[in-house]
Amino acid sequence: MANNIQSNLSKDKNYDDEALKIGIGGKLSPETNEGLYKKRMKKRKEIQSKRLEMRKSQKGLVIVFTGNGKGKTTASLGMAVRTLGHDQKVVIIQFIKGAWETGEEKAFKKLFNNITWHSLGEGFTWETQDRIRDEECVINAWQIAKKYIEDNSYKLIILDEINIAFKLGYLEPLEVVSFLKKLHNQNNHIVLTGRGAPKTILEFADLVTEMNLIKHPFRDQGIKAQKCVEY
């Protein structure tokens, strides 16, 4: 079985390389003759069909949105909307946020029935100024999160800012990975957000996206956090 998997991965790689070589078309393609361009795109479609045919398996995914750029929680909320659109249940557990109600929380509660929202943090460290209480909140959030993760009726579990909890030393990444490894027949997807995702989490995850900070109005222009943008 292992040999078959390796063989399929090798074929996948070959098709990926061919797709990259052919390109995505448009005015990036070198052809000046439309007939030759159509021939190139026909070949690209054939390769794409083979790529899709090779990838038939499905499973519950561990997804990480990290990096110093803006958009990590926002990306996870986009997945939540998509999941709710398929009439599946979503739970959002916030490990750090919770001292204020955000626009997204108000909207989700107002528009959707299949959403469960737990804001279990009490704010940033410089606001709480109590790391003992902060750690208690994180541990409580993780205990609640585990129950939802084990419940396959929830298709999407978002662990918002859990990476920050790791970074602050309130929760061990290995504890989370060990718990997830013990699960069987999991069909739900688990999203971990927050900057500074630890190596243990990155290596275990199925999908990792890093948001890269290029410009930010708070840092570059001295503009404060605003409704509809930050919360």
222: helix, strand or coil: coil
Q: Which letter does DSSP use for residue 150 in this model?
A: T
Write down the catalytic residue from 126, 181, 182, 215: 126
Write down the catalytic residue from 11, 31, 38, 68: 68
Confidence at residue 6, expressed as pLDDT on a 0 to 100 scale: 56
Confidence at residue 111, expressed as pLDDT on a 0 to 100 scale: 93
**Alpha-carbon distance values, 158 to 1, 32, 145, 175, 226 (Å):** 33, 48, 9, 17, 24
| Rounded Cα gap, residues 194 and 65, in angstroms | 7
Q: Among this protein's residues, is 72 annotated catalytic?
A: yes
152: helix, strand or coil: coil
In the structure encoding, which two tokens stand for residue 57, read together?
A: 């398996």
One digit per residue, pLDDT tens: the chain, 231 residues?
Answer: 545 555 566 777 899 999 999 999 999 999 999 999 999 999 999 999 999 988 888 899 999 999 999 999 999 999 999 999 999 999 999 999 877 788 999 999 999 999 999 999 988 888 899 999 999 999 999 999 999 999 999 999 999 999 999 999 999 999 999 999 999 888 999 999 999 999 999 999 999 999 999 999 988 898 898 888 888
Q: Among this protein's residues, is 68 annotated catalytic?
A: yes
Kindly report the pTM of this predicted structure: 0.86
| Rounded Cα gap, residues 165 and 173, in angstroms | 9
| Rounded Cα gap, residues 124 and 168, in angstroms | 11
Write down the catalytic residue from 124, 133, 152, 209: 124
Instruction: Give yes or no for a contact between 188 and 61, defined as CB atoms under 8 angstroms apart.
Output: no
Write down the catalytic residue from 105, 161, 166, 193: 161
Environment class of 97 (CB within 10 Å of its CB; exposed 0-12, middle 13-18, buried 19+): buried
Confidence at residue 3, expressed as pLDDT on a 0 to 100 scale: 53
89, containing H or E segment: strand 89-94
Instruction: Give yes or no for a contact between 31 and 40, defined as CB atoms under 8 angstroms apart.
Output: yes
Instruction: Give yes or no for a contact between 122 and 137, defined as CB atoms under 8 angstroms apart.
Output: yes
The single residue listed with the structure tokens 């396959």 is 152
Confidence at residue 54, expressed as pLDDT on a 0 to 100 scale: 86
